[in-house]
Amino acid sequence: MATTVVHGVPTTAAPPQTRVYRGIWSWVTTVDHKRIGVLYGVTAFAFFLIGGVEALLIRTQLAVPGNRLIHPETYNQLFTMHGTTMIFLVVMPLSVAFFNIVVPLQIGARDVAFPRLNALSYWIFVTGGIFLNAGWLLGASPNAGWFSYANLTERAYNPGPNQDFWTLGLLVLGTASMAGAFNFIVTIVNMRAPGMSLMRMPVFTWMTFVTSFLIIFAFPIITVALIQLLFDRHFGTNFFNAAAGIDGDTLLWQHLFWLFGHPEVYILILPAMGIVSEILPVFARKPLFGYAVVVYSGIAIAFVSFGVWAHHMFTTGLGPVANAVFLTTTMAVAVPTGVKIFNWIATLWGGSLRFSVPMMYAIAFVSMFTIGGLSGVSHAVVPSDFQQQDSYYIVAHFHYVLFGGAIMGLFGGIYYWWPKVTGRLLDEKIGALQFWVMLIGFNLAFGPMHFLGMNGMPRRIFTYPEGMGWDLWNMVATIGAYLMGFGVLLLIHNAAVSLRRGQPASGDPWDGRTLEWAIPSPPPVYNFATIPVVHGRDAWWLMKHPHRSEREGTTDTDRVDVQLGGRHLGVVETPDDPSRESPAAYEDAHHLGIHLPDGSWFPVITAFGLTFFAAGLIFGWWLTGLGALMMIFGIYAWCYEPING
């Protein structure tokens, strides 16, 4: 076989970047997706620790009956903020961290479609997250549950600023999520390497794509609900005012919230499912079983997720017809989910399994999520749900899917992609210990909650009396929670050890299948010296083993037709393995003729402006005015800023 190399032909040398920032300012002004991903990951992890402390306080309070450690009002704030933090400030941003770091690399791109918009998303996340937590400083954190049912949230029943932190905080954070989702939709549609059709994309990229659509269609609904609540609280409207003579319907809140809320839980789980779909094939040394089915199932889950929301409202008296409809749709959404489980199991079947830490987490996802899914299906059965609603059985269910599922999957992603980002491996021994401590702790914490729920323990109670039969399992759950905390500390320890003296990682430490493993670790700032040409699924695996391809039709031929934008451009020879190119190939972007955008101040200025604008409702209109000026300045300066990239 003749060795052939694909060259990009630089036309003229790229102009050097005109605005180069150093040190911390380079991080503040960065528009590089890899750095933004790291920022997201670190910030999300910090919020994870905060949410974890909130959880430990809750569990400590509940460890024994009749406990008076925590005041009931504080307790309400703790469980509200624990849920709100974990959902909006941890799981979502951790997923976005991976979207940022991994997706452009997997599709062979140099960055996302809108780098400054990407930075804006991050900075709104930071400022919004801090604002959301600012209530703690006033002793007035949100206190009505993460779902904030009306009309407990109305001014009459909740006069302090607590719920304003929640409403405004989520309005601000929502814009960050939407901006990110728009960015990834355009990136995935428009910036794929030549030859990478949609059905050749890695499954993680597919799940990012589907999740982004869920975000752009679900978040506007909660935006409207939040605006309506805000107006009720501050401008005298009656959206959820059930007073006589007004006759508003508090159930309207629940409908609007869950119309968002149910797609939201799929937003939380699909990225982790994508991660699992990446890890299992690599560590089983087998392609994903039924790639197309897994992709279509993800799409089906997204569609159906918009049709199940009222299963959160079975006990509100919707009537038998509505209940029956939503029972059916909820059962239906379990089907594509189950299909994925079987595809993952089939991927492992007959594979040559390596139980590295990412693999352990992926397998934990499949098993723990299945348990959570089973309890979920039991909720779908309406009469059964009449018993389960508002009990600890529900708490058990969603922690099995969100921690046993999403967090386990995301932690697997941390172990899997850590070498790519940092250039070092995490320690396998510490990692294995950390994994088992977390898994055992998790099951000790949440397994017994099924029993507590079945034995009648309600949610959101700050204490319980002796003699209910709940004492033992509450104590066990608390011990499990502390064990989980220890597991998290072990992860931090592993990270610190790795960064200090971890074993250096090559570009492809796991013998991976997808394009992010085709470049050095950590990647050069421009990702790919030459944009790769893709021949099939598992593009990197194909490049490594061109004659052992199991993909569509490229076994003997080293040639591929290249289509771009619907136009046939010509025929290209198989490229050499890019990671075996000489180090000289990875010179700086300037000499390679690669344009890189400069950093920019305007995303961070605009982000602060938006948060100040919102915060002014609580802290004073002067702040709103200042925020508005900053936003207007930030946006206009951004529009007229030369990009040079």
Which positions from 141 through 170 interact with other proteins, judged by CB under 8 A? none
Distance (Å, whole) CA 93 – CA 176: 10
**Cβ distance to other proteins smaller for residue 70 or 221:** 221
Residue 238 found at the interface with other proteins (CB under 8 A): yes
Q: Single out the residue of 566, 580, 582, 621 in contact with other proteins (rule: CB under 8 A).
A: 566
Which residues ranging from 81 to 140 are in contact with other proteins (CB under 8 A)? 110, 113-114
**Cβ distance to other proteins smaller for residue 489 or 628:** 628
Instruction: Choose one: 26-34, 129-137, 235-243, 420-428; the region binding other proteins (CB under 8 A).
Output: 235-243
At 339, the amino acid letter reads V
**Cβ distance to other proteins smaller for residue 152 or 252:** 252
Residue entry with tokens 């997250």: 129
**What is the closest distance, in whole angstroms, from the C-beta atom of residue 127 to other proteins in the complex?**
22
Instruction: Choose one: 125-133, 283-291, 408-416, 557-565; the region binding other proteins (CB under 8 A).
Output: 557-565
Residue entry with tokens 């006033």: 138
**What is the closest distance, in whole angstroms, from the C-beta atom of residue 147 to other proteins in the complex?**
17
Residue closest to 131 by CA, chosen among 81, 182, 165: 165
* Structure tokens given for 292: 């197309």
CB-CB contact of 172 with 223 (8 Å): no
Residue 194 preceded by cis peptide, ω within 30: no
Residue entry with tokens 């508005």: 628
Distance (Å, whole) CA 449 – CA 58: 14
Instruction: Choose one: 285-293, 378-386, 493-501, 565-573; the region binding other proteins (CB under 8 A).
Output: 565-573
Q: Single out the residue of 76, 85, 228, 330 in contact with other proteins (rule: CB under 8 A).
A: 228
Which residues ranging from 387 to 446 are in contact with other proteins (CB under 8 A)? none
Residue 224 found at the interface with other proteins (CB under 8 A): yes
**Cβ distance to other proteins smaller for residue 157 or 636:** 636
Residue 252 found at the interface with other proteins (CB under 8 A): yes
Q: Which residues of 66-76 are buried (b: 16+ CB within 10 A; e: fewer)?
A: eeeebeeeebb
| Residues 6 or more apart in contact with residue 109 via CB below 8 angstroms | 187, 191, 192, 193, 527, 531
**Cβ distance to other proteins smaller for residue 218 or 495:** 218
Q: Single out the residue of 60, 67, 237, 624 in contact with other proteins (rule: CB under 8 A).
A: 237
Cβ-based neighbour number of residue 566 at 10 Å: 5
**Cβ distance to other proteins smaller for residue 151 or 422:** 151
Applying CB under 8 A, what is the total number of residues that bind other proteins? 72
Residue 531 found at the interface with other proteins (CB under 8 A): yes
Which residues ranging from 15 to 44 are in contact with other proteins (CB under 8 A)? none
Which residues ranging from 616 to 645 are in contact with other proteins (CB under 8 A)? 636, 639
* Structure tokens given for 88: 């909006």
Whole-angstrom CA distances from 400 to 342, 373, 405, 444, 466 are: 18, 8, 6, 11, 27
Cβ-based neighbour number of residue 422 at 10 Å: 18
Distance (Å, whole) CA 407 – CA 400: 10
What one-character DSSP code corresponds to residue 584? G
Residue 239 found at the interface with other proteins (CB under 8 A): yes
